[in-house]
Amino acid sequence: MAASKARTLLRLARVQTMALTALVPVIGAAVFYAASGAGIWDHWANLLMLFLTGACLHVYGFVLNEWADVEVDRASGDLAGKPLVSGEVSPRGALAGALVVGMLGYVPLSIVSPSPWPVLLYTASLALGGAYDVWGKRAPLDAVLAGSLSALLLAGVAASGGFDPGEVWQRWLLSLLVGLQFLQNLFQNAIEGGIKDADHDAAAGARTFAAITGTRVEGGVYRPTAAFLRSALAMKLTQALLWASLLVLLYDRDPQLVDVSASSLLLVLALVVMTRTQRSFLPEGPFERPRLKRLFSLHEMATYTATIAVLAPIIGWVAALPLLALPVLWFLCANVALYGRPLEPGV
């Protein structure tokens, strides 16, 4: 019974993607430890604390989102097994748990740095994420959620103490890094999330980006509008431009960086996977949620891989490879344990 309850709570917290969120402040700190000339592994304890802070934000955000969306989720038969929809967890308990875990994120963050800036940025992340969770079905607030993860990234940067605003190249580095984080989360929620929930969001009267652009599911067929597709392609093209710009920035700073060639190759491979998966889930076609979730999983893995690939010249491959492997292995193993399927979480 205890094992079953634990499994339910892990599903409620969407633990399968926890590592990806938890690594957001870690990546921010690691990049600017390296930019300041410090050894990344010399700060492993700080990076672990930042991982815990990111994990707390993840639990807070997803559990609060489940609490806020429970009535909308009940409009979909595919989501009947979700912990709040099925009644396995009470709404009051979920809300209390989300708030407590969100507050716990301040503890490891304060261990890393006494500066008020990481705390203020983490507070902004909690506020923006909470606003999206509570009102995200009433208005297209995907940019607000993307801002929440960008603030979490900046909290990691501030905690590292490695950012020097007097260095022009560091200002560019920070801008590109924040832009990539923002666009990854924006696409994930506005486009992939909009497609995944296009059937029951419309039925429940939700005002998501997909819904207000007219994207819908009719007779089991997913029908995107031209505005929705143009927005999706614009996001991915901008991301590609930022990845290329980051590589150019690092190469221009030190042309002797041999890792740029390896990074370029991995970036091209990731772009191929992203392009192929987008061609499968963006155009009009049968609405098959299990298939869509598998495609989204592959697409997000490729997107994350592209970002780590272009950061490898500055953080080094010894740090980049664990950052690449951890969220992928975490995602696959957690999905198998919780849902019995490596690429298809029950969300």
54 pLDDT above the threshold of 90: yes
For the domain made up of 2-339, the CATH class stated in words is mainly alpha
Percentage of the residues of the chain whose pLDDT score is greater than 70: 95
pLDDT mean over 45-70:
96
Q: Looking at residue 4, what is its pLDDT?
A: 81
**Do 251 and 257 form a contact (C-beta atoms < 8 A)?**
yes
Q: How confident is the model at residue 74 (pLDDT cuts 50, 70, 90)?
A: confident
Q: Which pLDDT tens digit goes with each residue over 126-150?
A: 999 999 999 988 888 999 999 999 9
203 pLDDT above the threshold of 80: no
Q: Looking at residue 347, what is its pLDDT?
A: 62
Q: Could you say which DSSP state residue 16 is in?
A: G
pLDDT mean over 191-217:
86
**Do 60 and 98 form a contact (C-beta atoms < 8 A)?**
yes
Lowest mean pLDDT among 11-15, 80-84, 303-307, 323-327: 80-84
2 pLDDT above the threshold of 70: no
Beta bridge partners of 218: 221
Q: Which pLDDT tens digit goes with each residue over 82-128?
A: 888 888 899 999 999 999 999 999 999 999 999 999 999 999 999 99
116-135 and 142-160 helices cross at what angle (nearest 10)?
A: 170
pLDDT mean over 224-237:
97
Q: How confident is the model at residue 258 (pLDDT cuts 50, 70, 90)?
A: low
Mean per-residue pLDDT over the chain, rounded: 91
DSSP string, 116-155: HHHHHHHHHHHHHHHHHHHHTTTS--HHHHHHHHHHHHHH
Domain locations along the chain = 2-339
Best mean pLDDT range from 25-29, 83-87, 208-212: 25-29
Q: Looking at residue 66, what is its pLDDT?
A: 92
Closest CA to 257 of 167, 169, 317, 307: 317
Q: How confident is the model at residue 77 (pLDDT cuts 50, 70, 90)?
A: low
